[in-house]
Structure 1
Amino acid sequence: MSIELKILDFIQTLHTPVLDKIMVGITRLGDAGIIWIILTAIFLVIPKTRRTGGVMLAALVVQTILCNVILKNLFARTRPYDVNTTVQLLVPKLHDFSFPSGHTSASFTTVSALYFAKNKAWKPALVLACLIAVSRLYLYVHYPTDVLGGILLGILSGYIGYKIMEKLRNR
């Protein structure tokens, strides 16, 4: 058995009914990037934060293309619950590939965009992003390297989004 499955199996020993509900709730915040899309929309509507919202929007577009269109299909990694079929899932099975974690990459894209835009909201966003990343492991839907790949992709996407908006602003 791979080290990644051993890590996931260890995390399974930490399950409690209360923690199960919390982790499902946390992961749902990241479904389709909804929490980050709502936050971006709010930032775009408020004149004082519109520039930051633009960075977030550009970064999330980059992340979506890189993660969901290119990387997931390029790597085509099977999800851990399809390898270890004995695990009882708390969420419905997903129909896309495992690497990189889309929930994690969208989360860290937003954190990075906020950070590069020098918006202090990156700190609470980082807490939520970390919780979402951990929830993906807890729920057995991603391998640890999927989450790590999502973090790295998110940081890169946040930086690219920031650079795109800087170029547009300097025109």
Structure 2
Amino acid sequence: MYLDIPSKIINFDNYILVTINKYLKSKYLDRLMPLITSMGNLGAVWILIAVFLLLDTPFSNVGEIIILTLIISTLIGEGIIKHLVRRVRPCVNHNKNELLITKPISYSFPSGHTLSSFAVAKVLSVYFVQYKLLFMAIALLIALSRLYLHVHYPTDVIAGIIIGLICSEIVFIIIEKGYIEKFASLYQNIM
């Protein structure tokens, strides 16, 4: 299945990308944006936070929840939606721009970096309210870096934000309903 994207959305996406390239492009951001986007590669910054929390006994459960959030967001975004929509990345359609990072090989919609970042940032914001702005700022910077680097369309990023927030809600439902404990108990009984 391939989703046919309406021309109004394509025009909006291209307009935003051209505007970013025209008004924001600079040698400083050309150095900074690849570093910011690398924080989202395979959820690196979020995995680092999860490991830190797993080592800190009072917060080890939050580290586990971050890992669960990354798994769910990856399954939904990378495993399902990208393969249903199969949108080609802007760097493939507009290859005149020299990429500052290695060209991604997966589909474009939704932005996986954005999806996982907003999912985990929302989860962390619930447990560490005092750092909510920091977590959301990191997620937003990662999302913006994907546009600056010309590897996602704006609607990919918008969808990544929305689906990421939905994924965090799915995680909270799983926790609230006690599904983790039920699964662990079932697993122990089988073993």
TM-score using structure 1 length: 0.92
Structure 1 residue matching 2:100: 3-state secondary structure: coil
Written as runs of structure 1 = structure 2, the 5 A alignment for 1:119-138 is 119-138=129-148
Pairwise CA distance, 1:113: 1.0
1:51 aligns with 2:61: yes
Pairwise CA distance, 1:170: 7.8
| Counterpart in the other structure of 1:62 | 72
| Structure 2 unaligned residues grouped into runs of 5+ | 1-9, 183-191
Measured in 2, the distance between the counterparts of 1:55 and 1:42 equals 13
| Counterpart in the other structure of 2:83 | 73
How much identity, in percent, do the aligned residues show? 35
- State which of 21, 28, 36 in structure 1 corresponds to 2:31: 21
Measured in 1, the distance between the counterparts of 2:53 and 2:92 equals 39
Measured in 2, the distance between the counterparts of 1:118 and 1:24 equals 28
Pairwise CA distance, 1:118: 5.1
| Structure 1 unaligned residues grouped into runs of 5+ | none
Measured in 1, the distance between the counterparts of 2:176 and 2:131 equals 19
- State which of 87, 112, 134 in structure 1 corresponds to 2:122: 112
Structure with larger Rg: 2
Measured in 2, the distance between the counterparts of 1:45 and 1:160 equals 25
Quickly say closer, same or farther: Cα 1:164–1:155, change in 2 above 3 A.
Answer: same
Measured in 1, the distance between the counterparts of 2:75 and 2:97 equals 31
- State which of 6, 9, 27 in structure 1 corresponds to 2:18: 9
Deviations 1:95-141 (A, max 9, x none): 10000001101110111111333543332111111111100000000
| Counterpart in the other structure of 2:98 | 88
The total of aligned residue pairs comes to 171
Amino acid at match of 2:90: P
TM-score using structure 2 length: 0.83
